[in-house]
Structure formats: C-alpha cells, structure tokens
Structure 1
Amino acid sequence: MENGNVATQAEGKDPAGFLSDILFKPVTVKLNSGVVYKGELQSVDGYMNIALEKTEEYVNGAKRRTYGDAFVRGNNVMYISAES
C-alpha cells in the first residue's frame, strides 16, 4: 500500500467473501445487547442469521454458558470477528 500503510488481510474483500473465508473457523459474534458468543462458524445466510458450534456465551466479559450449537438471528448481530 502507498505511504507505508500496512495492508490488512481483508482489504479489498466484500462481506460475502470474508464470511466464506471464515466458515468452519473460530469467530466472535457480538450482539447489539452486548452479549458475546465465541464458537466455530458453521453457516451464515443473507440475513446474517448465524449458526455456531462449540459455542461459549459471555456476558459482561464473564463466561456464562456453553452450548453445543447456537443460532443467532441476524438482526441482533453487531459484528462478526475472525479469531486469530
């Protein structure tokens, strides 16, 4: 990139490309309510409805529950972040 800026891994990708790249990988999903889910992304649709496996739920930074599978309705999602 110009001017010495470091290019990010997701630079130039559309959201659908990013989501397909992180399928079956660990992600963090933050809801509008502030609740955070961490798990393996199994599927996501055009409405941002999300299916996770091996899911942990965090409330105020503290682990609250563990789920085998979790489904999150897309209109509740603030963001999805790939875990490194």
Structure 2
Amino acid sequence: MENGTNTQSEGKDPSGFLSKIIGNPVMVKLNSGVVYKGKYFTRELQSVDGYMNIALEKTEEYVDGTKRRSYGDAFVRGNNVMYISADS
C-alpha cells in the first residue's frame, strides 16, 4: 500500500497479512457459516499455502453466534475458509 492506495498485487497474496498476525487471536469463518476463534500455531504458520490451509490452537467453534465446542488444536482445510480476520 502506497499513500493509502492498494496496488494490484496486494489483496491477491495474503502472506503479508498472515505474517503480521502470527501468534495473535484470529477468527476464521467457514463457507458453512461456522466460525472458529483461536490462535495460529507460530511454528505451523509456515504451512499456510496457496490453498489457505491453517492450523489453530486454543480453538473455539461458534455456530449462529453460540459457542458449541472447544478444541485444543484444530486444522482447517483452506477450501472451506471464507475469510480470516485478526480478532482483537
């Protein structure tokens, strides 16, 4: 981003965004509407690839805004991911 404007190459490669949120809380929304909240595995973030496969730790699953389950670790296959958001 230069002077507040996006270049064409930005937005296509999420690696810059992902590298900034390593170890921070994130929210991952799936195409099905299920939401996972957790933290990225710092050591596993290297495995995020063009398919957006991600590993989370301290993960909670939410359906329709209601917490359903807690997981220690979770792996989300990238083709199920609608978006990843830094969760503050």
**Alignment TM class, shorter chain as reference:** 0.7 to 0.9
- Compute the RMSD of aligned alpha carbons: 1.9
Aligned to 2:86: 82
| Paired residue type of 1:15 | P
Q: What secondary structure, in the 3-state scheme, does the structure 1 residue paired with 2:32 have?
A: coil
The runs of at least 4 consecutive aligned structure 1 residues that moved more than 4 Å come to 11-14
* Aligned length, in residue pairs: 77
Q: What secondary structure, in the 3-state scheme, does the structure 1 residue paired with 2:33 have?
A: coil
TM-score, structure 2 as length reference: 0.78
Following the alignment from structure 1 to structure 2, what is the Cα–Cα distance between the partners of residues 33 and 59? Answer: 9
Aligned to 2:30: 31
| Paired residue type of 1:55 | T
Uncovered stretches (5+) of structure 1, i.e. residues with no partner: none
Following the alignment from structure 1 to structure 2, what is the Cα–Cα distance between the partners of residues 51 and 15? Answer: 15
Aligned to 1:19: 18
Uncovered stretches (5+) of structure 2, i.e. residues with no partner: none
Structure number with higher strand proportion: 1
| Paired residue type of 1:16 | S
Percent of pairs identical after alignment?
Answer: 74
TM-score, structure 1 as length reference: 0.81
State the Cα deviation string for residues 16-71 of structure 1 (Å, max 9, x = none): 10011111110000000000000001222221001000000000100000000000
